[in-house]
């Protein structure tokens, strides 16, 4: 389910307890600058975990709307003293789209929408997901509850996010981890595309909160369901509602909250957003 090679390292530490201090060591997550380039031009520089970077480059290309999988001719990794460059070769340089999507600044651990030059790009319309897939609430609980034991890097470092792809009849098919939640989801997107799995039949599982860019990336992947352990933002809820994505969040051992398109779980089809409820009261 992905490699954690070179994604952690052992460092010296001093452990203090009430009984005193002692020398110790700890495995920590490796964080490095990763530049994604097209035709010699840098599109983004993000802080990321240095594992599964081919998935990352491909997933970023897909979820950012830069190119389709068929348009990607090759991905090359170049390790340097300051970081890693992922060179993506496209059938066409797509110069106008790349100019519109170009990020002008480095992003701290995959900062999502940071640096995008156009407001239209930040809140771009999403394709509507009309998947007829249905999901049992009990199965969703079991899926998110079993994710922790599949997070090898987090078990070692306690410092990374995970994004996973789950299918009701098959279980968790893919897991990708990264110091950045957006990066983990991009890595998952690339892995799904390369594997040929049917995204419309499954769900994206997240160990993070759900902001609007996580919904945007899930929409690009084509999954009809997001399940997250933390809460969503108001804009994420509206985006999921408009994109036809079922948004489940605050998932705990005893249940979860459904914010949009609950019909896929046999629940009421929609829940008003806080903004809509406030408007009704006013």
The residues assigned a catalytic role are 111
Report how far residue 36's alpha carbon sits from residue 53's, in angstroms, rounded to the nearest whole number. 10
With vertex at residue 254, the alpha carbon angle to CA 252 and CA 256, rounded to the nearest 5 degrees, is: 55
Residue 38, classified by CB atoms within 10 Å of its CB into exposed (0-12), middle (13-18) or buried (19+), is buried
Report how far residue 255's alpha carbon sits from residue 269's, in angstroms, rounded to the nearest whole number. 18
């Amino acid at each position: 389910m992905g490699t954690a090679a070179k994604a952690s390292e052992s460092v010296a530490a001093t452990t203090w307890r009430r009984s005193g201090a002692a020398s110790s060591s700890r495995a920590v997550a490796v964080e490095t600058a990763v530049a994604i380039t097209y035709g010699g031009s840098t599109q983004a520089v993000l802080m990321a975990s240095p594992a599964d970077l081919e998935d990352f480059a491909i997933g970023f290309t897909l979820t950012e709307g830069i190119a389709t999988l068929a348009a990607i001719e090759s991905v090359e990794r170049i390790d340097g003293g300051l970081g890693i460059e992922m060179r993506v070769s496209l059938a066409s340089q797509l110069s106008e789209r790349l100019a519109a999507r170009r990020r002008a600044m480095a992003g701290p651990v995959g900062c999502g929408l940071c640096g995008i030059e156009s407001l239209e790009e930040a809140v771009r319309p999403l394709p509507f997901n009309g998947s007829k897939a249905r999901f049992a609430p009990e199965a969703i609980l079991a899926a998110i509850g079993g994710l922790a034991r599949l997070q090898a890097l987090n078990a070692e470092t306690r410092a990374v996010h995970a994004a996973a792809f789950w299918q009701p009849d098959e279980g968790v098919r893919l897991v990708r981890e990264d110091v950045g939640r957006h990066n983990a989801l991009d890595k998952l997107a690339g892995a799904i595309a390369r594997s040929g799995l049917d995204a419309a039949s499954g769900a994206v599982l997240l160990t993070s909160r759900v902001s609007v860019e996580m919904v945007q990336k899930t929409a690009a992947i084509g999954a009809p369901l997001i399940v997250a352990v933390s809460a969503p933002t108001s804009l994420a809820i509206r985006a999921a509602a408009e994109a036809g994505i079922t948004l489940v969040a605050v998932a705990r051992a005893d249940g979860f909250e459904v914010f949009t398109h609950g019909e896929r779980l046999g629940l009421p089809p929609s829940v008003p957003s806080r903004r809509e409820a406030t408007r009704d009261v006013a």
